[in-house]
A = this chain, B = another copy of it.
Amino acid sequence: MDVALLRERFPVLENTAYLNAGTDGPVAGAAIDAAEEELRAQLAIGRTAAHFERNSELKSQLRERYAGLLQADVQDVSLTTCTTEGMAAVVGGLGLVAGDEILTSDEEHPGLLGALAAARERGVTVREVPLARIGLEVGPATRLLACSHVSWLCGRRAPDLADCPVPVLLDGAQGVGAVPVDVRALGCDAYAGAGQKWLCGPDGTGMLYTTPELRSRLSVDRRGYGNMANPGDGLAARLHDDARRFDALGLNRETLAFALAAFDTLAQAGWTALHERAAALAEHFCELLGAAGRTMAAREPGTLVAFTSDDPPAERASLAAAGVVLRDVPGRPWLRASVGAWNNERDARRLVEALAG
């Protein structure tokens, strides 16, 4: 991989040690150019039939890209506006009631917990257990197992859930793009991912993979031109049979084109090479941080490096002032560096030096 070339594509990297992809990835010049091209086209030509055809074309292309990266069939991939939206479609769509249980871990993101809280308001039991042993905790009332593929707090991985006897929903916000994902090998029934994090797309993009079996059990309230097979048929209109039924209704051309160009910028470098470089670099970050006296929160192979801090918000602010961008982990004494293939050894040194003051 030509690392210098990859880094050049993301202008923010020139002056900043940008370690924030777990929130929002760096932005590629080509992605902004692509969005602007779509915007300008609307200005001169207006928004007529060709405008909507272009939107459909961009959606098809983005869906294919996402499906390829998930190793999924394209008809099983929905385009969402964020990971949270996809998880809510699954948790809410199951229509669980009092007496049913959802099993989750004790280190989940608000985007999943929000959907679980909504289910709890309808009387569903939500049981939180350690991520490492979640597969062993399935009980007779469990109707859904919902947890992180990669924990947003510290990078911990879900255990092998391929033989889980109930449907499995994985929160892949810190998975897809960061680490290799094969939805079939994971054995999950649903996998929700983000477009704006490790895929460097715009805010307001994401994906949801679902198996046909799970999909057929999920109700869908939001139905419009974007997700119905025959919207002109009034009350007799049906949802698309495939995963387009969960598509977000308002994805615009400029947002889609941004996502697509960002994806292709990364894909040019090769996903395997990106994943291997990011993992190796994250390991290097851990070594330097360890040598500097920091303890890792939970170190597993991957791209999130969470480490101890006596005052995370204050250290985050002083790092930002030194041009090192990362986040503190709410409620834990940790800072979290998101290490991508676009980072380098100098970023690691800058982090450690800025921490030393």
Residues of A in contact with B (beta carbons under 8 Å apart)? 11-12, 16, 18, 20, 23-27, 29, 32, 35-36, 39-40, 42-49, 51, 55, 80-82, 84-85, 88, 91-92, 108, 110-111, 113-118, 120-122, 126, 128, 196, 202-206, 219-225, 228, 231-232, 234-237, 248-255, 258, 320, 325, 330-331
- Whether the pair B114, A228 counts as a contact (CB closer than 8 A) is yes
Choice from B36, B118, B205, B254 contacting A223 with Cβ under 8 Å: B118
Determine the distance from Cα of A228 to Cα of B112 in the docked complex, in whole angstroms: 12
Is there an interface contact between B27 and A42, defined as CB atoms closer than 8 Å?
Answer: yes
Chain B CB within 10 Å — which of A25, A35, A111, A117 has the most?
Answer: A117
**Are A39 and B35 closer than 8 Å at their CB atoms?**
yes
CB closest residue in chain B, given A26: B46
Q: How many copies does the complex hold?
A: 2
A117 to B202, CA, bound (A): 33
Interface centre among A42, A49, A248 (most CB of B within 10 A): A42
Chain B residues within an 8 Å CB radius of A126 = 235
Given pairs A48-B325, A82-B249, A113-B235, 14 additional interface contacts (CB within 8 A):
A12-B46, A24-B51, A26-B46, A27-B42, A27-B47, A39-B258, A55-B203, A110-B237, A115-B223, A118-B220, A204-B250, A232-B331, A252-B255, A254-B254
User: Is the CB–CB distance between A221 and B115 below 8 Å?
Assistant: yes
CA distance A235 to B122 in the complex (A): 13
**Chain B CB within 10 Å — which of A43, A46, A85, A196 has the most?**
A46
- In the assembled complex, the Cα of A330 lies from the Cα of B225 at a distance in Å of 13
CB neighbours (8 Å) of A221 from chain B are 88, 91-92, 115, 118
